[in-house]
């Protein structure tokens, strides 16, 4: 019989309490218990970045964190991102630059790009690529993703 534990956390601004198996990873909890399927499961080893989400203000690989470790945390998934401000500008830039071809990596890319922009990252293509290096994309070749991030940073500088 598998051991369970009750956890309470805030997901996309809403309080959630659930009893979960102690070995259930966070991304599976979000997807299968809460129905938040925006964060994808790719490698299950923390390598591809498809499960990247925000936990207490830091990007985190949802496949490497157990749901019980998130007890008391505030989590933001791609579904909980605002549609305006920097996030809205980044979403629009991804669309304009065709930086979301198949969409599998997009939630993790958005989370990592938002972290970079929020930390005051410059429109430096090498620095952006380095920051996004933990997120794999098999469709775009990264050029359009880096272009989109640069567009948002440059747009903020002009505002």
Q: Which pLDDT value is given to residue 43?
A: 85
Q: Looking at the domain covering 85-158, what would its CATH class be?
A: mainly alpha
Q: Which pLDDT value is given to residue 1?
A: 53
> What letter does residue 128 receive in the DSSP assignment?
H
Q: Which pLDDT value is given to residue 63?
A: 95
Q: Could you report the average pLDDT of every consecutive run of 10 residues in the chain (159 residues)? A: 91 98 97 95 88 94 97 96 92 92 90 94 96 88 93 87
Q: How do the domains of the chain map onto residue ranges?
A: 4-80, 85-158
Q: Which pLDDT value is given to residue 9?
A: 97
> What letter does residue 34 receive in the DSSP assignment?
S
Q: What is the CATH number that goes with domain 4-80?
A: 3.10.20.30
**H helices within the chain, ranges in order?**
26-28, 85-96, 106-118, 125-131, 143-158
CA angle 10, 105, 36 (to 5 degrees): 30
**Cα-based distances in Å from 159 to 86, 118, 148:** 12, 16, 17
């Amino acid at each position: 019989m598998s051991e369970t534990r009750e956890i309470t956390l805030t997901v996309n601004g809403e309080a959630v309490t659930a009893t979960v198996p102690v070995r259930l990873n966070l991304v599976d909890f979000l997807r299968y218990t809460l129905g938040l399927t925006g964060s994808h499961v790719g490698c299950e080893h923390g390598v591809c970045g498809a499960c990247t989400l925000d936990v207490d203000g830091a990007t985190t690989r949802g496949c490497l964190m157990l749901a019980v470790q998130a007890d008391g945390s505030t989590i933001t998934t791609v579904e909980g991102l605002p549609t305006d401000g920097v996030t809205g500008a980044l979403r629009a830039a991804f669309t304009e630059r065709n930086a979301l071809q198949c969409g599998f990596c997009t939630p993790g890319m958005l989370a990592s790009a938002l972290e970079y922009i929020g930390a005051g990252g410059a429109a430096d293509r090498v620095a952006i690529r380095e920051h996004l290096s933990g997120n794999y994309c098999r469709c775009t070749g990264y050029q359009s993703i880096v272009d989109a991030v640069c567009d948002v940073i440059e747009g903020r500088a002009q505002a």
